[in-house]
Amino acid sequence: MALNGDEEDFEWEPPSEAEMKVIQARRERQDKISKLMGDYLLKGYKMLGECCDLCGTILLQDKQQKNYCVSCQELDSDIDKDNPALNAQAALSQVRERQLAAQSPPPPHAPQLNGGASSSQSGGTVPQPRPEHCEGAAAGGRALLPPPVAPTPAAPAAATTLAPSRPPVSPQSSTLRPVLQEAEEAVLTKLRWATTQLQSSASLETSIQLCSLITSCASSLRSLKELSQ
């Protein structure tokens, strides 16, 4: 619509698929923000004439004169989800990108979400680049071709987000042992701790929870033993 004549300077092309998704996601986020702000206004909040410094959303003020930014404090941040330090999903995708980029052993690190008491999947696989919703993965996925995948069962889809990712089954078992030993030690420590807690606990609920913790520690140990064999 601009009436400038320098159209030849900018070759406008329609946005690509991924960019469309980003635009769509941004639009949905803006709609969500508007809806939340409308609800707060109906609750009696005041709409100020200022914008948030971080995200540019209009600020609200409650009856106690406290300023409130809907997008920063309530919605998941748009950019934080790409930050590996804050988001496990982003960390996982970063790990996968590194594995794709260099065919070297991946860092033996998995973000432990449940304090080491989570059950792990025994399927060792080469993690494939899955369509992620963050830009980093999309950019990474576009840049490289995936390596030929070993014919192993497909990586578990959702459970992997909670489970620590397993290192690939590759002829590098020398690096595997110390990792497994560390894991075993961690689980045994937790088991010991749970046992002492169970001996001293007085409430029923706590005892039940400690017993389930012990059960899951035992099953983790079992899978670790299977892996090392």
Partner 1 sequence: MLSVKHLHLKHALQTVCTLEAVILRSFGPEGGQVLFTRDTGQAMLSCSGTQILKALRLEHPLARMVVECVWKHSAVTGDGSKTFVLLLASILRLIHAAASKAPGVSQWSTEAAEAATARHLADKLLAFAMTELDDLICVSVAPHGFCVSSEDFTTKTQLPSCPNGFCVQALLSSFFHTRLDYVHCDFLSGLACELLGHWKFQNDTLSFALQFLNDNFPALHTQVSGFPVSSSHVIEGQVIHRDFATPCLQVNNQPVKAVVVTEYLQPKLLRRGDMLDLGCGGRVTGEKSIIPFSAWTERSLESVIATLQSLGVSVLLCAVKQSAAALALAAQAEMCLVECVSEEELSLFVRLSGVAPISDCWMIQPENVATLTFCKPIQLGAHRYVHVAFCDSEERVGVKPCSLVICGSGEVQTEQYASAFQDAIRMLFTTWEPTRMTETTALKKPVQSHQCTSLNAHNLTEDTVCRSSDVYVLKPGCVIPAGGTFEFLLHHALLQHGRSCSASNYTNTGVGVSQILADALLTVPRQIYSHNLKSFLQTQTRVTSFTSNQPHHFMLLKNARGTTEDPEKGDEPSKLFTLDSGLESVSCKHQLLLAVLQCLTSLLRVNAVVRTHTALHSASHTHAKMSEESADDETED
Tokens of 125: 């696989």
61 - beta bridge partners? 46, 67
Chain centroid to Cα 155, Å, comes to 16
Alpha helix ranges (H) inside the chain: 17-43, 70-73, 88-101, 135-143, 159-162, 173-200, 204-228
Taking the complex as a whole, the smallest distance from the CB of residue 16 to partner 1 amounts, in Å, to 12
Q: CA–CA separation, 183 vs 175, rounded Å? A: 13
Q: Which residues bind partner 1 (CB under 8 A)?
A: 1-4, 6-7, 10, 12, 30-31, 33-35, 37-39, 41-42, 44-51, 56-58
**Residue listed under structure tokens 């979400």:** 113
User: Which CB, 57 or 93, lies closer to partner 1?
Assistant: 57
Q: CA–CA separation, 201 vs 139, rounded Å? A: 51
Q: CA–CA separation, 45 vs 179, rounded Å? A: 53
User: Which CB, 33 or 155, lies closer to partner 1?
Assistant: 33
Tokens of 137: 């993965």
User: Which CB, 39 or 80, lies closer to partner 1?
Assistant: 39
User: Which CB, 46 or 192, lies closer to partner 1?
Assistant: 46
Taking the complex as a whole, the smallest distance from the CB of residue 46 to partner 1 amounts, in Å, to 4
Taking the complex as a whole, the smallest distance from the CB of residue 136 to partner 1 amounts, in Å, to 18
Taking the complex as a whole, the smallest distance from the CB of residue 83 to partner 1 amounts, in Å, to 22
User: Which CB, 66 or 148, lies closer to partner 1?
Assistant: 66
Asked whether the CA dihedral 118, 124, 126, 129 is positive or negative, the reply is negative
Taking the complex as a whole, the smallest distance from the CB of residue 82 to partner 1 amounts, in Å, to 18
Quick check: 156 and 163 in contact, CB under 8 A?
yes
Taking the complex as a whole, the smallest distance from the CB of residue 32 to partner 1 amounts, in Å, to 10
User: Which CB, 47 or 113, lies closer to partner 1?
Assistant: 47
